[in-house]
Homo-oligomer: A and B are copies of this chain.
Amino acid sequence: MKALKSPVTVTTREHILRQAITLFAASGYEGVSMRHIASAVGTSAAALYHHFPDKPTLYLEAIRFAFADKSATLREVMAKETHPAERLYDFIRRFTQMVYADPAFLKLVHRELLDGDTERMKVLVTHVFAETRQILKGLIRELAPDWDETLLMTSIIGLVIHHYETATLRSFLPGSQPGHEDPETVARHVNRFIQHALGIAAPADEWPDGVKV
């Protein structure tokens, strides 16, 4: 068993990682220098090298930290014994909320999808995608056995994510409203879309008159 590090050490390290996450999410690996991170932390670049051997390692630790426990809230979905369709809606809502509440997380995921090498892809799979897709797979098997699992999982995840990866862009497009970013609105829309697609609910009738989702 490893000896615990002193509380002060852990805090400094975490402080660095949190600042690094924000900066890397905003500007990418190449767009952030050790000096930038040091400046955000309030220390010198040389001091960072006391905590991390080099920049690639600092980045790897940062995404590990940013991706840690991201499936936790989704895991709770499976603890309930409600109807599968209800659990799927629960999944959609929690997933949408997660993506909405942590824009840095979504940005880092997309940067990894663009730039990740084999090792970093494995971090992404292990910490983020593996359990998320496992949970979703369970729901799909119950609700839509006649669909291709992989294609359907990818579609459902993309259906949610795309609303937030284009959030900045849509402010430049006509017809955009602030409500289109609201996680509850997006979740209801996506849920209606999926339920009708999979033939779970009959079209219309679930939402009050005049509310388009």
Q: Determine whether the beta carbon of B213 is less than 8 Å from that of A151.
A: yes
In the complex where A111-B114, A161-B158, A169-B125 touch, is A180 in contact with B197 (Cβ < 8 A)?
A: no
Interface size on A, residues (CB 8 A): 59
- 23 CB contacts below 8 A, A to B, read A27-B30, A107-B114, A110-B113, A111-B114, A113-B166, A114-B114, A121-B168, A121-B172, A125-B169, A125-B172, A130-B173, A147-B213, A148-B189, A151-B186, A151-B189, A154-B162, A154-B170, A154-B180, A155-B162, A158-B158, A162-B162, A196-B199, A199-B203
Nearest 7 Cβ contacts at the A-B interface? A158-B162, A30-B30, A148-B212, A197-B197, A196-B197, A30-B31, A151-B189
Residues of B within 8 A of A177 (CB): 150
Binding site for B on A (CB under 8 A): 27-28, 30-31, 107, 110-111, 113-116, 118, 121-122, 124-125, 129-130, 133, 146-152, 154-155, 157-159, 161-163, 165-166, 168-170, 172-173, 175-177, 180, 185-186, 189-190, 193-194, 196-199, 203-204, 212-213
Could you tell me the distance in whole angstroms from the C-beta of A187 to the nearest C-beta in chain B?
11
Q: Is the CB of B114 within 8 A of A28?
A: yes
Chain B residue contacts of A147, Cβ below 8 A: 212-213
